[in-house]
Amino acid sequence: EPEVTQTPSHQVTQMGQEVILRCVPISNHLYFYWYRQILGQKVEFLVSFYNNEISEKSEIFDDQFSVERPDGSNFTLKIRSTKLEDSAMYFCAGRGQALLEQYFGPGTRLTVT
Amino acid sequence: KQEVTQIPAALSVPEGENLVLNCSFTDSAIYNLQWFRQDPGKGLTSLLLIQSSQREQTSGRLNASLDKSSGRSTLYIAASQPGDSATYLCASQAGGSQGNLIFGKGTKLSVKP
């Protein structure tokens, strides 16, 4: 059964550094999402991406964040200058055109020191 | 702004018991509602999705119901097993959105052998 994959599983970085989190969605999915979950808190929507552009973003998704799908397979989330409060689990998700169900990846745990 | 609440935050039951997890949402104009399971430190596994036009969905020992008018959904687990121990999350998708999900904080279920 196809799965969403994410790399790395754990990333440790210093404050102010840039990080890129990578996701490989299921091949026939068309809508892509990033969510994050700070330890002990709710899963929060960051951004949705369709037809090679951002379709919606939350207040969390400020100028420090960007997404792209450069090669039609990988879907990346970049944080330009990480802050301590960016420490969280980041989940990639996707769905097909007709499917409403979102399928999530295993997550990348980002630790900013 | 949609708010999703799950009560109780934690639940402990003996093996074999039937149980109900509750989810409430403030804006009844939802497009669908999705239930997930999250194991510690892991990603989200989709369990069931109920579209706004449906009243319930079943998968094996799981049954999810949706009452839009009262802003409530329930997840019924029959004959619980220790392997059901996990955190259960509900998430609503607003109508007119690109599919971004608004999550509750979850109910942590522990099934004792």
Q: What is the pLDDT along chain B (113 residues), one digit of tens a residue?
A: 889 999 999 999 999 999 999 999 998 888 899 999 999 888 899 999 999 889 999 999 999 999 999 999 999 999 999 999 999 999 998 766 677 899 999 999 999 99
**If 0-12 CB within 10 Å is exposed, 13-18 middle and 19+ buried, where does residue B42 land?**
middle
Lowest mean pLDDT among A25-29, A88-92, B32-36: A25-29
What is the total residue count of chain A?
113
Backbone angles phi, psi at A84, to 5 degrees: -55, -40
Strands A10-13 and A75-79 come out as: unpaired
Joined together, the tokens standing for residue B52 give 């706004």
CA distance B9 to A78: 33
Nearest to A39 by CA among A105, A99, A86: A86
Find chain B residues with C-beta within 8 A of A101's C-beta: 34, 46, 49
Using a CB-CB cut-off of 8 Å, the residues of chain A touching B45 are: 104
Residues of chain A in contact with residue B1, where contact means CB-CB under 8 angstroms, are: none
Q: B113: exposed, middle or buried (C-beta count within 10 Å: 0-12, 13-18, 19+)?
A: exposed
User: How far apart are the CA of B15 and the nearest CA of chain A, in angstroms?
Assistant: 26
Contact B61, B41 (CB under 8 A): no
Cβ–Cβ under 8 Å, residues A29 and A15: no
A99 confidence band (pLDDT: 50, 70, 90): low
Whether A98 shows a pLDDT value over 70: the answer reads no
A85 C-beta neighbours (distance < 10 Å), count: 10
Distance (Å, whole) CA A12 – CA B21 = 36
B36, B46, B98, B102: best mutation site toward chain A, by most A Cβ within 10 Å? B98
DSSP state of A86: G
Q: What percent of chain A has pLDDT over 70?
A: 98
Asked if A77 and A91 touch (Cβ cutoff 8 Å), the reply is no
Yes or no, beta carbons of A58 and B102 under 8 Å apart: no
Average pLDDT over residues A68-93: 94
**Rg of chain B's alpha carbons, rounded to an integer?**
13
> Would you state the structure tokens that stand for residue B79, as one six-digit string?
């004959």
